[in-house]
Structure 1
Amino acid sequence: MFHPFDAIRTRILSNRWKNLYAFLPNLSFVMRHHAILNKFYDFVDRTLAIRGDIPVQRFYLNCEYKCDYGRVYNLLSTLVGQFKVQQLILIFSMERYMVAFCWDLFRTCETLVELTLVGHIVLDVPEECGVLFPCLKKINLVSVVYSGDHSLANLVSGCPVLDELFVERRVFPDGLMMFKVSSVSLKRLKLSFSEFHFGDYKVVVDAPNLEYLYVYDNMTNQYSLTNLVSLVEADIYHDAKTIPEIIPFLLSAN
């Protein structure tokens, strides 16, 4: 299998091949801790400029150490409007910097099918947003911050063909007291709440077409699982005191 690093190595063999990496279907950019901010984004911009209008299948951007959110916004605009990106993975700083994710860019994006957000990205999704991602089938949310319980619920309702959702909570407080998901399209749901962070946390799931449920949870003290009429498999790793709350829901699903 041809690896992206192989394309980069070919640059030393011939000038004809020095820009070969820019035409790969999958592009990955990782900002190292010693990187110069502007030079990093200039390199990303040059790569896309060389590419022309060839669509990008998978775009991976890791800005875990530093981030210029203005340039990231411009980059996302280009990926959506010009390169018809299908899979998008964004990893942002876990430090004090936060950015509100730019939902409006994706309202007319009919190519994005998978979105992964990692880091201190603030999800602020008002109810009036309507459809956000018309073709999105898979969402992965890791260590993000929510403006309130409504944000996650509105995000899911704004994805009419969502098939799979994975949420991992590592940051507290993250603004989410009630994890609420209501979706007629959702088939796979994975929750990883492994931190021992105690509070009045609740999980509410209404997904009539859900087929697989994975729960690793050390913090939630109240569950409500309804309409699980299609569930065929569940893996539950949960604090012992609340397992009795989950079991009846699973039994009633069959």
Structure 2
Amino acid sequence: MCFRSGSDKTHLSELLIPLIDSIFVLMDEEREKRVRGDWISNLPDSLLCQVLLLNLPTKDVVKTSVLSHRWRNLWKCVPGLELDNRDFAQHNRFVSFVDYFLGLNTESCLHRFKLKYDCDDEPEFGLINRCIHSVATRKVKHIDVLDDSYGSWDLPMPLTLYTCATLVSLKLTRLTLPSPKFVSLPCLKVMKLVVVNFAHVMALETLISQCPVLESLVIGRSFCDDIQVLRVRSMSLLKFVHLANTSEGLYEDLVLVIDAPRLEYLRLCDHRIANFVLNNPASLVEADIDIVFNLIFEAKFDPNDLPKRNMIRKFLRGISDVKDMTITSTTLEVTYDYSRCERLPFFRNLSFLRVELCGYRWEMLPIFLERCPNLKSLVVGSINHREKEGFNILSKPRCFLSSLEYVKIERPLKGEAREMKLVSYFLENSKILKKLTLRFDDSLKKEESVILREHIAIPRLSSSCQVIVL
């Protein structure tokens, strides 16, 4: 059976959920007489193998061999492995099983290889490396390896990963990638590298640039990697996510350069990087931004730092054409500091905005909202971040919200004055607001909820606005 897209696989999986349930019933009974003439066993091998591949880890796939003579060897034809080495009593048995499975049907393609490796003792790198090398030479399409052992980051990947011509997606976590001598990944569309150690600072940049059809790239940076300047250059990239631990408190003059003219989705969550350079952003539609340009803790925005000002100006202009944006209050703080010396660009295409606020620092919103003339929907969420001390905020709104139609405040309200100030701001300044959605905190007593409901019945600029309390 051939699937043309990921959505086709999802659709098939949903349709065959009853089939999976029936398989487990048969496994529990373990009696051949109960499956004689059963409609499941009459399905073609190709369909059954796809169902097992998409829905069960390998240890459960093997268990289906006890169902009947019909199922005894079917597991050997499933084109994929999903393993956890802790499912095996001994490490050698784990390796032997992988070797045995890969020795079956050596001419067929391996659709998927997923491995979680966890070892309390010193891991046997050579054996694991050989397993992954064998997988890479079996025309595998999807590789997902997580090293959760004592020696995380030390487990090296084989060079054959760089020349796997059939590979479509590559997901590695806490591993080491060697320096590539030659890269040929003509089919690779999805790459996710989380806390991956690179043997050379240019290894990642080289790998990205040599994937001609790469569409989705996720990089989870380690606080101890040696990459000072990372250039993400791709003519095919549509989605890019860059994450790092924002609580390390490190002061680093790191640089991230993004040159992807077809990029549609961008997520940046890294407080350490000082310089973000976004080239060719014309196709960008959605952005999720949690950055502070390394202005954290005692570091302050300096209006006289012209290189920093120019970099922030270019970055804000680079994301100014997006239609959908998520932004954190930490980023808004830097944006506000910058706005006191230069005006923010207009975000004319922005129709949906989600703001993740730290505490009640909502007073930063007006300076940003006044530059969003076509904003229709706003969601106010909340996150936990350390706030900077001595932050100067606006004392009152500076503009009417002429386009805003829907506002949702997700943080449960307790009736505090600063919360009601936020509610009043939207009601008193939104000309065509249709719906304001709120939620009260569960700790409020009944009489307090009544008072709060009465309080939000304040004058509103839009006569058609509904206040919905969840």
Q: Is TM-score (shorter-chain normalized) higher than 0.5?
A: yes
- Judge conservation of contact 1:33–1:65 (CA < 8 Å) in 2: no
- Judge conservation of contact 1:56–1:84 (CA < 8 Å) in 2: yes
Matched, 1:149 2:201: yes
Distance 1:131 1:148, change over 3 A: closer
Offset of 1:203 from its aligned partner? 1.2
182-191 or 239-248, larger mean C-alpha shift: 239-248
Offset of 1:36 from its aligned partner? 1.4
Matched, 1:86 2:155: no
Offset of 1:122 from its aligned partner? 2.2
The CA distance in 2 between the partners of 1:106 and 1:146, in whole Å, is 13
1:57 aligns to what? Answer: 111
2:30 aligns to what? Answer: none
Matched, 1:111 2:176: no
Distance 1:179 1:228, change over 3 A: same
Q: Which has the higher contact order (CA 8 A, sep 6+)?
A: 1
Offset of 1:210 from its aligned partner? 1.0
1:136 aligns to what? Answer: 188
- Judge conservation of contact 2:268–2:291 (CA < 8 Å) in 1: yes
The CA distance in 1 between the partners of 2:234 and 2:161, in whole Å, is 23
237-246 or 190-199, larger mean C-alpha shift: 237-246
Structure 1 segments (4+ residues) deviating >6 Å: none
* Cα RMSD after superposing both structures: 2.8
The CA distance in 2 between the partners of 1:94 and 1:9, in whole Å, is 27
- Judge conservation of contact 1:23–1:54 (CA < 8 Å) in 2: no
| 1:92-103 → structure 2 map (5 Å cutoff) | 92-96=147-151, 98-103=154-159
- Judge conservation of contact 1:31–1:40 (CA < 8 Å) in 2: yes
- Judge conservation of contact 1:131–1:157 (CA < 8 Å) in 2: no
The CA distance in 1 between the partners of 2:253 and 2:218, in whole Å, is 22
Distance 1:69 1:212, change over 3 A: same
1:37 aligns to what? Answer: 91
1:181 aligns to what? Answer: 232
From 211, 226, 230, the equivalent of 2:279 is 226
Distance 1:33 1:84, change over 3 A: closer
| 1:165-244 → structure 2 map (5 Å cutoff) | 165-169=217-221, 171-197=222-248, 198=250, 199-239=252-292, 241=295
157-166 or 10-19, larger mean C-alpha shift: 10-19
Q: Deviations over 1:136-156 (max 9, x none)?
A: 111000111123431211111
Q: Deviations over 1:13-38 (max 9, x none)?
A: 33553332232233201111874111
Identity %: 31
Offset of 1:164 from its aligned partner? 1.1
2:45 aligns to what? Answer: none
The CA distance in 1 between the partners of 2:196 and 2:109, in whole Å, is 28
Distance 1:150 1:218, change over 3 A: same
The CA distance in 2 between the partners of 1:10 and 1:101, in whole Å, is 32
The CA distance in 1 between the partners of 2:182 and 2:279, in whole Å, is 24
Which segments of 5 or more consecutive residues in structure 1 lack a partner in the other structure?
Answer: none
Q: Work out the number of aligned pairs and report it.
A: 248
Instruction: Give the letter aligned to residue 197 of structure 2.
Output: V
- Judge conservation of contact 1:4–1:21 (CA < 8 Å) in 2: no
DSSP-derived class of the 1:11 partner = helix
The CA distance in 2 between the partners of 1:133 and 1:80, in whole Å, is 12
The CA distance in 1 between the partners of 2:319 and 2:230, in whole Å, is 18
Offset of 1:49 from its aligned partner? 2.3
The CA distance in 2 between the partners of 1:15 and 1:68, in whole Å, is 37
From 63, 70, 75, the equivalent of 2:126 is 70
Structure with higher strand content: 1
- Judge conservation of contact 1:19–1:50 (CA < 8 Å) in 2: no
